[in-house]
């Protein structure tokens, strides 16, 4: 097993993760630059990258409270859901966050947890379905995973990647227009002024950018898993949570689907936003319990439903203003 708190191993992992993230972000940015150059030349590259930077730095940030309000989430405090409040307080303190993320419970029987905001102002939403199916030890691992996303600024990194991908998609529409003009010129003049290779690149750029974005997302998920174990000192807790999530989400229906013997064809790893559960568990299983991180003191007590009016009111469906939970 690998002692994950070894200082040299930590530094090595940090540099490799930074390099991986930089390469993927750089690849997305390079695609955007090349797409701009195909249309407007170097002036277009400079203007497009400047526009991305300005929009990223100045675009209004949606308050995390507003995001949680879209899901009808209920805030957790010391008087309501005290165990969860103590848990998020302990994990946030270990993560070194100056401001503790506000924890919300979402009235839904789906199994989900996510973070919104940034290091200075964040919120974490966790569904009632997850609270009912996971032990407090497993919930601690899930919350530590989300806190790691916040500490690592993953939300901002993915936001920048998404912004560049959207610009690339917008430029690809120009590629479609150029293809139409090329066909018109070939029919009327007998030749095309715009190289077909360039048009093909513009057309394929959004797909390539999306694949790089998915790769970036998977890399950040692996890092958040490792961060979760650093904060809890308990890789077995996260492994157990992942096993349960895999068992509860979709496996029953997969057993009823063709082809026999009843497992659907796995989605190619390159098309996933998250690594496969098997890969995540395999990496976590290689980690030794962290001797330098004392385990969280978790005294588990029964939790009465925190939100909603019973399971029927929380069954997954589309809710106003169009959110599925």
Q: What is the CA 148 to chain-centroid distance, rounded?
A: 11
DSSP state of 117: E
Q: Which of 138, 146, 185, 254 is catalytic?
A: 146
Q: Tokens at residue 181, please? A: 């003009």
Contacting residues for 286 by C-beta, under 8 A, at least 6 apart: 1, 2
3-state DSSP of 189-200:
CCCCCCCHHHHH
CA distance linking residue 157 with residue 254, whole number of Å: 34
For the chain, count helices (H), then strands (E): 11, 6
| Coarse DSSP helix, strand, coil percentages of the chain, rounded to the nearest 5 percent | 60, 10, 30
Strand order from edge to edge, sheet including 74-75: 74-75, 102-106, 121-127, 113-118
Exposed / middle / buried, residue 267 (Cβ in 10 Å: 0-12, 13-18, 19+): exposed
Q: Are 143 and 151 in contact (CB under 8 A)?
A: no
Strand (E) or helix (H) holding 220: helix 196-232
Residue 146 falls in the annotated catalytic set: yes
Which backbone phi and psi does 12 adopt, to 5 degrees? -60, -45
Catalytic residues: 146
């Amino acid at each position: 097993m690998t002692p994950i708190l070894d200082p040299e191993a930590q530094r090595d992992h940090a540099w490799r993760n930074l390099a991986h993230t930089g390469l993927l972000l750089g690849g997305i940015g390079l695609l955007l630059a090349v797409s701009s150059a195909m249309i407007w030349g170097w002036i277009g590259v400079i203007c497009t990258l400047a526009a991305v930077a300005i929009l990223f730095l100045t675009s209004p940030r949606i308050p995390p409270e507003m995001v949680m309000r879209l899901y009808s989430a209920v805030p957790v405090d010391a008087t309501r859901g005290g165990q969860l409040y103590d848990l998020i307080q302990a994990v946030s303190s270990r993560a070194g966050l100056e401001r503790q993320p506000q924890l919300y419970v979402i009235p839904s029987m789906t199994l989900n947890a996510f973070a919104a905001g940034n290091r200075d102002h964040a919120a974490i939403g966790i569904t009632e379905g997850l609270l009912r199916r996971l032990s407090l030890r497993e919930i601690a691992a899930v919350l530590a995973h989300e806190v790691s996303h916040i500490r690592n600024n993953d939300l901002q990194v993915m936001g920048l990647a998404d912004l560049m991908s959207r610009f690339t998609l917008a430029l690809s529409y120009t590629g479609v227009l150029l293809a139409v003009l090329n066909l018109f010129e070939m029919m009327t003049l007998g030749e095309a002024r715009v190289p077909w290779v360039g048009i093909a690149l513009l057309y394929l750029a959004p797909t390539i950018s999306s694949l790089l974005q998915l790769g970036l997302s998977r890399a950040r998920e692996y890092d958040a898993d490792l961060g979760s174990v650093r904060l809890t000192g308990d890789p077995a807790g996260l492994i157990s949570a992942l096993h349960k999530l895999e068992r509860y989400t979709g496996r029953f229906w997969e057993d009823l689907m063709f082809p026999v013997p009843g497992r659907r064809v796995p989605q190619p790893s390159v098309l996933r936003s998250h690594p496969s559960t098997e890969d995540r568990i395999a990496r976590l299983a290689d980690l030794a319990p962290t001797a330098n991180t004392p385990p969280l003191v978790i005294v588990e007590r029964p939790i009465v439903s925190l939100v909603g009016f019973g399971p029927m009111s929380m069954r997954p469906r589309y809710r106003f203003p169009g959110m599925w939970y």
